[in-house]
Amino acid sequence: MSLKHRLLAAAYHPLRIGNILHHQVSGQSSGRLRVLLYHGISPQEEEHFAAQLRWLSRSWRFINLPQFTAMLAGKENVTEDSLLLTFDDGFTSNRRIVENVLNPMKIQALFFVISNFVDLSEKGEWRSFVTQNIFPGMKSKDVPAHWQNMTWDDLSYLLETGHSIGGHTTNHARLSQVASTELVAEIIGGADVLEKRLGVEVDHFAYTFGDLHSFSPAALEVARSRFKYVYTGLRGDNARGVNSWAIRRDAMAATNSFSLMGALLEGGADRLYANSRAEYDSWSRLVCPT
């Protein structure tokens, strides 16, 4: 664990107690609304991941996608601290996690999928896709087996068992570096393919890479023209006044300790993202004047 993560983990209990006291003193009746972001989970990590969800369930309630969108729109009150679970990229381990962990625990998640990644069937093709598009610079031999792509059948299984699929571009391009003429094909084209192949509406979109420098006002404008909900990788609480094109998410790893996860969800790193959130929200106002 890095020093920053160790310090954060050590701060979990003070952060939690501080937030409980603040909640009582301020008289706020509503809870928090946060979104977890995972990627692939190895077979060795699966047990700890399940334990993470059980531990989180002690103080947070896992909600499904309709509940999340109702809360975001203010149509449903956030009466308890609530969590939506999301996964990015469409790795094959996601299906295993659904079968072994999420379905038995009755937790429904949202999976953001790269349309061209699903189409790979040749042996080894997926490793090149991962090193060229998802983790640029990584060596092919270092790509673990659980980062293989899910198939269309896997995605259908996810949908059949109550989970949701969102768009995550066509090729996992870094949108801030894509020519404006290509943005539509990358952002909208990928989701259109998912809709057609899966026969469901795809109203949710997550930026690739997740940090502010990987997207742009032009990308937001294209995303906003097609999707009701746009997810960033910027940490923060969505409970009060976050618009549906600026959804904050908390990246997590299946190896994270309970204390580190707890500290992140208590907002221990939120301040580090304050400038990025403010800048992104200013784009929202620019692109989507209200």
Question: What's the Cα-to-Cα distance from 275 to each of 220, 229, 238, 270, rounded to whole Å?
Answer: 18, 21, 16, 10
Shortest Cβ distance from residue 204 to Zn ion (Å)?
Answer: 14
Q: Which is nearer to Zn ion, 55 or 209 (CB)?
A: 209
Q: Which residues bind Zn ion (CB under 5 A)?
A: 88-89, 208
| Cβ burial, residue 247 (10 Å; 0-12/13-18/19+) | buried
Residue 71 or 183: which CB sits closer to Zn ion? 183
Smallest distance from the beta carbon of 168 to Zn ion, in angstroms? 6
Spell 38-53 as b/e; 16+ CB within 10 A means b. bbbbbeebbeebbebb
Q: Which is nearer to Zn ion, 12 or 38 (CB)?
A: 38
Nearest residue (beta carbon) to Zn ion? 88
CB of 10 to Zn ion, least distance (A): 30
Closer residue to Zn ion in complex, CB, 232/244: 232
C-alpha span between 236 and 238 (Å, rounded): 7
- Closer residue to Zn ion (CB): 214 or 255: 214
User: Minimum distance between the CB of residue 88 and Zn ion, rounded to whole angstroms?
Assistant: 4
Tokens representing 263?
């500290």
The residue (of 81 and 88) whose beta carbon lies closer to Zn ion is 88
Distant-in-sequence, close-in-space partners of 161: CB < 8 Å, separation ≥ 6:
98, 103
Give the Cβ contact number of residue 187 at 10 Å.
Answer: 30
Q: How far is the CB of 233 from Zn ion (least distance, A)?
A: 9
Contacts 24+ apart (CB under 8 A), 125-133: 133/171, 133/172, 133/173
- As measured in angstroms, the least distance from the Cβ of 149 to Zn ion is 12
Please state, in angstroms and rounded to a whole number, the distance separating the CA atoms of residues 147 and 32: 32
